[in-house]
Amino acid sequence: MNIQINKYIEPVKNYWGSLTKKKKIISCSILGGIVLVSVIAGILLNRQPYVILYPGLDHSEAVEVMNELKERNVSFKEDNGTIYVPKDQENALRMDLSNEGHPKTAPNYDFFTKNIGIMTTDYEKKIIEQYQLNQRLEAVIKTIDTIKNANVTISIPDSSGYALDDNAEKPTASVTVTLDNGKTLSSSQVNGIKQLVSKSVPNMKAEDVAVIDTATGDELSGNSENGTQINITQFKLQIEKEYEKDVEKNILKVLTPVFGTNNVKVTVKSIMDVDKKVQEIITYNPSKDSSGNPTDKGVLSDSHTIKEQETSGKTAGGAAGTQSNAQTTTYPGVTVNGDVIYTKDDQTYKYLVSQVKQQIQGDAASVQDMTISVVINKDMIADSQKQQIAQLVANAAAVKPEKVAIYNGTFATSTQPTNAQASGTLPLNTIVIIGGVVLLTLFIVGLIIFLVARAKKKKEFAMGLAEQEFQEDGTPLKDRLQNEFSEEEPEKEKVVIPAIEDARAQKATKEEALTKEIQEFTSQNPEIAAQLIRSWLKGEDNDG
């Protein structure tokens, strides 16, 4: 294992050892610059600016708000009742916490703007404050996903001069919201908007805030029984689409194993009835006797019986064994004037019949009509097979076969261009940070390239000096420089004193430059310098 590791480490050590001191410094500078740029970029990209969420909360409510933020996994800071949260989450958190009734002890907006001048009147301050409040509330309400736009109008009456005034006007507010197509607001969201606005204005109650949908002009209620503001048309379209997709899946499950995955296309069109229905059913059941058998009578509920009889005198009759010629008929309730006979019989009976009363309220949607179209990628299909397919589709969709249309044909093969996914736009701050990092990286790379090129030029200059060390007369560079300096001295003596001083300064500068170049060449190329010294020594021996 160590041998394999050393196999990769040794070349790195050898390469690092072969580098000069200057190259090592440049390499370390490059690595350090890359690390520094990475650290700076990470700090700038991950830095979260904090803003005030709620100022001046009491201790109990501050604890409640912090617990809510912990449950939402939101980082926050707290300082004497003032809650700080990340800036990009401020508006969304205000909207969510307003549903919980926060803030309770402090308003969630500033009473004074920072742009009010010394000459601003009290009335102007009030108008600016109210305008700022409207804008702030609109920004918070727009953070709800289903809301495209929102406008807040707050009406705050002039304060009365009396502390107790029963006839004082109350502040009111209206919030007009424009919803996305096909979207609705839940009752909890409407209630949250009302709580948000009411908590932002002193002495305002939630019932004094009206939330209005701009599409319908209707006021949205926060106390809906089913928890959702229902638009019948949108609900009808939504339920139809969902039902059609479900039916299409069932049909494809039946036909795909037979014809293949991409060889069947299904389209379903349904008409739903979403009207609420209330149905009342009354069923009369016959009564039963003690044996459990049904009777033709119900249960006796009330009876009224009157029986009167008055008889006096004799009744008509005849001798025994003979037929009487008298035709006397007696009727109940008939008075006979002959000998008084009075009879009255009055009976009233009230029976109750068992009944079952049912009230059925239907809130679910029902299918009024549905048609199905099926296209199969096949040249020839027999009529009998089409009928079988229609029967299968009808059974899968729970409709009659007459509602199913089957068509067969060869699908067209067309290449569809692949739409490139639109990349999300980055925030302006992120773009600025990335641009700064790129510019800093380019600057460091350019500086390194400049230093390397400069060192290369110096090395080439030193190599040129080494190649020109011997001239045609064989005079060494050191002796030639001395001869040049010695030849210049007699000429300089003829010049005036200031010129001589300037020449001496130039001479000293030139000597220093040449000496410095020779030293740099010797330090950077010790082998070439040693070869030059050996050449000089060999030349002196030959001269001797």
Best CA proximity match to 173, nearest among 211, 217, 215: 211
What pLDDT was estimated at residue 423? 46
Quick one: 505 and 372 in the same domain? Answer: no
Residue 53 has, within 13 A of its CA and on its CB side, a CA count of 33
C-beta of residue 176 within 8 angstroms of C-beta of residue 214: yes
Confidence grade of residue 390 (pLDDT, cut at 50, 70, 90): very high
Using DSSP, state whether 161 is helix, strand or coil. coil
Q: How far apart are CA 115 and CA 104, in angstroms?
A: 28
C-beta of residue 210 within 8 angstroms of C-beta of residue 176: no
The CA-based dihedral angle spanning residues 11, 17, 21, 26, taken in that order and rounded to the nearest 10 degrees: 10
Quick one: 224 and 92 in the same domain? Answer: yes
pTM here is: 0.32
C-beta of residue 501 within 8 angstroms of C-beta of residue 495: no
Quick one: 462 and 507 in the same domain? Answer: yes
Quick one: 372 and 266 in the same domain? Answer: yes
Tens-digit pLDDT profile for residues 168-208: 678 899 999 888 877 788 888 888 888 888 888 888 888 88
Mean pLDDT of 130-138: 82
Q: Is 304 a domain residue?
A: no
Quick one: 271 and 122 in the same domain? Answer: no
Helices marked H in 185-289: 187-200, 232-259
Provide the pairing of β-strand 172-179 with 209-213.
parallel
Mean pLDDT of 255-276: 88
Amino acid in the structure at residue 318: G
C-beta of residue 223 within 8 angstroms of C-beta of residue 189: no
Looking at the DSSP bridge assignments, the partners of residue 220 are 211
Quick one: 121 and 96 in the same domain? Answer: yes
The residue among 114 and 395 whose pLDDT is bigger is: 395
Q: Is 342 a domain residue?
A: no
What pLDDT was estimated at residue 400? 92
What pLDDT was estimated at residue 267? 93
Q: Which helix (H) or strand (E) holds 407?
A: strand 404-409
Instruction: Give yes or no for residue 248 having a pLDDT over 90.
Output: yes
For 429-475, list the strands marked E by DSSP: none
Provide the pairing of β-strand 172-179 with 147-155.
antiparallel
Quick one: 67 and 119 in the same domain? Answer: yes
Q: Is 17 a domain residue?
A: no
Q: Is 103 a domain residue?
A: yes
Quick one: 388 and 445 in the same domain? Answer: no
Domain final position from 207, 235, 263: 235
Quick one: 132 and 185 in the same domain? Answer: yes
Q: How many domains does the chain have?
A: 3
Between CA 206 and CA 212, with CA 209 as vertex, the angle to 5 degrees is 135
Instruction: Give yes or no for residue 470 having a pLDDT over 50.
Output: no
Confidence grade of residue 39 (pLDDT, cut at 50, 70, 90): confident
Q: How far apart are CA 246 and CA 397, in angstroms?
A: 9
Instruction: Give yes or no for residue 101 having a pLDDT over 70.
Output: no
What pLDDT was estimated at residue 170? 84
- Centre a 10 Å sphere on the Cβ of residue 396 and count the other Cβ atoms it contains: 20
C-beta of residue 229 within 8 angstroms of C-beta of residue 220: yes
Quick one: 179 and 68 in the same domain? Answer: yes
The CA-based dihedral angle spanning residues 163, 166, 171, 174, taken in that order and rounded to the nearest 10 degrees: 170
What pLDDT was estimated at residue 504? 58
Tens-digit pLDDT profile for residues 313-347: 554 444 444 444 444 455 555 566 666 666 777 77
Q: Is 31 a domain residue?
A: no
Q: How far is CA 386 from CA 309, 376, 408, in A?
A: 88, 10, 9
Quick one: 451 and 526 in the same domain? Answer: yes
Token reading at 365: 């949607």
Q: Which domain holds residue 145?
A: 50-159+170-235
Q: What is the CATH number of the domain that holds 396?
A: 3.30.300.30
Quick one: 118 and 222 in the same domain? Answer: yes
Mean pLDDT of 341-354: 73
Q: How far apart are CA 451 and CA 447, in angstroms?
A: 6
Q: Is 27 a domain residue?
A: no
Q: Is 6 a domain residue?
A: no
Q: Is 340 a domain residue?
A: no
User: Rounded mean pLDDT of the chain?
Assistant: 73
Confidence grade of residue 266 (pLDDT, cut at 50, 70, 90): very high
Domain final position from 212, 235, 258: 235
Nearby residues of 476 by Cβ (< 8 Å), 6 or more positions away: 469, 470, 536, 539
Length of the chain, in residues: 544
Using DSSP, state whether 189 is helix, strand or coil. helix
